[in-house]
Every structure is written in C-alpha cells, then in structure tokens.
Amino acid sequence: MITKTISIISMLILTFFQSGAKNGSACSEEKLPQENTSDILISDTLKWSERLSESFIVRHPGSVTFDEYMTKNDWNYEQGVVLEALRQMYVKTDDDKYFNFIKENIDQFVTEEGKILKYNYDTFNLDNINTGRQLLFLYEKTKSEKYKIAADTLRKQLKYQPRTKEGGFWHKQIYPYQMWLDGIYMSGPFYAQYVTMFEEDKNYDDITFQIKTVYKHTLDEKTGLLYHAWNENKEQRWADPETGRSKHFWGRAIGWYVMAIVDVLDYLPQEDKNRNDIINILQNVCESLLNFRDSETGLWYQILDMPEREGNYLEASCATMFTYAFAKGANKGYLDKKFFKIAENSFESIIKTHVEVEKNGLINLLHTCRGAGLGGNPYRDGSYEYYISEDQRINDFKGYGPLIYSALELGK
C-alpha cells in the first residue's frame, strides 16, 4: 500500500514538473504541486534533516536522481550533491536505506568492469568529478573493485585536465583558460579524499594550489567577495579586459567555493604547509559574506551586492551553502563560534521564507536558481540581466542537498 501511494505521488509530482518545464518562464512565480491525498507520509515530529531526506527518497523511487524538470539521467554533479546528503545521513543515522539508495543509484551508472556510463572522459569537465566521492564511499564500504576502477578514471582526468599557464584547472575543455569557483567544489573534495585513500606520497599541493589560485584571481579587495570566474587570456566577452574577471558576485559560485574548503579540510593533514592559508581564506570570505546579508531575513541575494536592483531575489542555494560552511566551519574550529549562531539563524530563516510543507508532510524548497554559467552556446555574457533571467526551481538539488548538510551540522 505504501509503495503504491509513493508511486502515485511521484507520478503527480512528475506531471507537475513536466507542466512547469513547458509553461514556465524566466524568474516566474513558483507554484507548488497540489497532492490528491491527505495521507501523512513524512511526520513533522522528525528532524528537518530526516524530513528533507525522506521527502527526497519518496519523490525518487528506484534510487534515481533525476526527473524531466530538473536533471538529466546521466552522470552529473547534481546527482553527486544529493547523494552526498544521503551519505551524510547514513553516517549520522546508520540507516541502511540511505546506503542502499546511494549504491543502487551508482550501480545504474557503473558496470561490473568499472566503466562509468554516460560519462565522457574527453570533455575534461570538472563537473563530472563530484559524484566520484560516492565511488570512494562505496569502495570503503564494500571493497568492490569496480568502484575503485571508476574512481581511478576520474583521478586520471584530473591528472590530464587542461590547465592555465600557472597550473589552474580549466573548468572544461570547451572553456579554455578559464577557472570558475564552481570547479573547486566539483574537483577538490574528491581529489583530497582520493589522495588520502590511495596515494602513498599524500601530496595535497595541487589541491590547495587550485583553491589559492582561483582566490587570488577572483578576489575583489574592496568587498572581500569573489567574482564568479577568471579568464587567463582575457579573450571572453564576459571577462574584464584588464583583470580577466567576470562581472558579478554570484552567490552560489561563492557557495560552492566555501563548501569545497570545509570539505577539503576533512582530508588535509594538520601539518600540511598550506592548511593555515586555506583556513585564512575561508575566514576572510565568510566574514565578507556577513556584510551582504539581507537585514530583514539574514539571507543573501542572487547577486550579492545589488539587493535593491530590480529583479534581484533572495536565492535559496547560496543561503544553504553559506549556512553549511558557517556551521561546519564553526564546529571544526576554522571559524569563530559566532558563525554557528549565524548559521542557526539563517537556517531558521530559510525554513520560514523558502520552505513549504505539503499536507502529506513532503518538503518543498523554493527559489533556487536553475543554473548560471559563462560563455558557451547560446552565449552567457555574465551580465546582471543574465543572472536574474535564469529560471527559479522547486526542490533543485543544488539548494536541497546543502540544506540537508546544514541541518545535519546544526543538529536540526
């Protein structure tokens, strides 16, 4: 009976998403699915981390991490974001349903020979590295060689990833001489964990180099904020002709960056010569972010420094990512203890302003930007108008996953 109810609900939600994908417009007002059942599937007596995780599992029967409104059925970084949330839930609760979801999902993409289906090595796309964290997790748990072989493929990609002249990873083969803040999260935590698990010399220099290099080139000295990306040869139309930096401070880009640092530090040894530098960068960026919180909600705008500009809005994913980095940073001693309280306040504000609970207990996270990039075809010029024109989504993984991370760090 429960399985049948879940299937009906999933079909209703998918129908809604498909309709929204066809009829939605840029930055249009989000509408929530109206369920045709009053059965309580998710109890409000559970912690937020459990309610969010259970809602995700209900909506994704068959251990899939895609639907037609959001992500494609392929090997992608959004998949990795939500699987990491379930991995953290498994570590916290020891509940096998989370482990089983991760394993069943990954097994849909990794053959017994260790080949990753729907992954293209030749694109040298850093986004494809992120889900590799779950390969390492599954190898640790099962010792099945197929996960190690698949992870080796991703490590090989990093070894041969095209680089800027000073050694920074290109974000993708199709984005030459470009470093994006996003890429630090996509590659760094996997890279650090792989080195820890398998490499005898335990050399983390390349990982910390990537963090420090993109910081150096994207930092705005006046605000302490980081621009979305940097183009070494300054050829892109979005790049400043003098600095090579993109035009704006996109909240989620900085979110990826600070999440990357707190996760990489899990593996960086205490005696590593670059550890203090990385912690100092985290402290500087997080302190700067406090200056751009909305005074009423304590949250952050899509474009951080332009709250009054028409079309700007309080965006969910940057808030969840900052909240996670603040909470974990405080818990680990990287950040001042005040950041834990700030994270608590931000979390409660997200729940109040960006979360809606359906009658059956399923959780919806609102107002997450679909995505924002630079260049490509059609060309994304990095203008203010571009960033605010991207669609907002309900339950987008890039906000939903970090909301679970945040809840766990805060004990919510």
Active site residues: 182
Residue listed under structure tokens 């599992």: 57
Residue 129, phi then psi, degrees to nearest 5:
-85, -30
Residue 82 · residue 34 · CB < 8 Å: no
What is the Cα–Cα distance from 321 to 295, expressed in whole angstroms? 19
* CA distance readout (Å), 97 to 44, 50, 104, 189, 392: 20, 12, 10, 24, 30
What is the Cα–Cα distance from 253 to 142, expressed in whole angstroms? 34
What SS3 string covers 202-245?
A: CCCHHHHHHHHHHHHHHECCCCCCECCEEECCCCCCCCCCCCCE
Residues 6+ apart with CB under 8 A from 371: 390, 398
* CA distance readout (Å), 164 to 20, 107, 115, 169, 374: 40, 35, 29, 6, 17
CA 309 from chain center: how many Å?
Answer: 26
Residue 255 · residue 321 · CB < 8 Å: yes
* CA distance readout (Å), 275 to 144, 179, 251: 32, 21, 25
Cis check: omega of the bond before 378, within 30 degrees of 0: yes
What is the Cα–Cα distance from 307 to 284, expressed in whole angstroms? 22
